[in-house]
Structure 1
Amino acid sequence: MTAQPTPRLDAIGLVVSDMAASLAFYRRLGLDIPADADSAPHVEAALPGGLRVLWDTEETVRSFDPHWTRPSGGGRLGLAFLCGSPGEVDTVYADLVAAGYRGHLKPWDAFWGQRYAVVLDPDGCEVSLFADSA
């Protein structure tokens, strides 16, 4: 019997309407993104552990999928960033909102034992900030 191949999650892809705006947001969250990437049609950033985040402009996606349309409504992919402490959740949230990004859920002590908040990236994707409350 031949073993079935096991896929491995390697990357998370985001389709963006404004590459520079999206990369500026994720740089504020600590992702190491090359400074000269703002005008590129495709950008990649490696995360600790080997997982990658990929950004493609809407035009890039339409170049190989001409029927692609921008999602509307909810249900989009969301990313979650672990913060070092509950206070860091509050600080990062406040920094992003002060920089003009949209807050979605202000920091609160969630019933599952974490300090939690949600901001929206420039394309409206939910980005969670969290830390254990202990």
Structure 2
Amino acid sequence: MTPRFDVIGLVVSDMAATLAFYRRLGLVFPEGSEDQPHVEAELPGGLRLALDTEATIRSFHADWQPPARAGGRVGLAFRCDDPAEVDSVFGELVGAGHHGELKPWDAFWGMRYAVVHDPDGNGVDLFAPLPDAG
């Protein structure tokens, strides 16, 4: 038997804030999950995004500590329909108080790209292919 990739897990310090952030990006979590210790959303292709509170992790790993530097080890990326949507989603998230790490720009690899941080400092990329110049 070969293991099958199934879940992306994030440890969160504030479940309600994290749910609000990812809901703005279109993920669907069960209503009323803000006070739950573990929440999941189904992703396209059958994967799941699992959110666990720090208290949940410490319930079975008493010595667990958050990384000293957030945002450097996990990155999620959301594809937007077009370059204008990258700009508007970035603006909406920054307007809601989230840290905009990199403002939208036209990347040399042919995409409109931006990076914003979720409430725990994880980098979340927003991207869309640029219109074909040729």
* 1:12 counterpart residue number: 8
Gap runs ≥5 in structure 1:
none
Give distance in 1, aligned partners of 2:62 and 2:129. Answer: 43
One-letter identity of the residue aligned with 2:24:
R
Structure 2 counterpart of 1:79: 76
Deviation sequence 1:14-58 (CA, Å, 0-9, x none) = 000000000000000000111210000000111122100000000
Query: d(CA) in 2 for partners of 1:100 and 1:76?
Result: 22
RMSD, aligned CA: 0.9
Find the aligned partners of 2:72 and 2:19 in 1 and give their Cα distance.
22
Structure 2 regions of 5+ residues with no counterpart? none
Deviation per residue, 1:40-98 (Å, 9 max, x gap): 00001111221000000000000011111001225221100000001100000001011
Counterpart of 2:28 in structure 1 is 32
Alpha-carbon distance in 2 for matches of 1:19, 1:72:
20
How many aligned positions are there? 130
Matched, 1:52 2:48: yes
Between the aligned residues of both structures, percent identity stands at 65
**Cα distance between partner residues in 2 of 1:29 and 1:38:** 17
User: What stretches of structure 1 move > 2 A for 4+ residues in a row?
Assistant: none
113, 116, 119: which one aligns with 2:113: 116
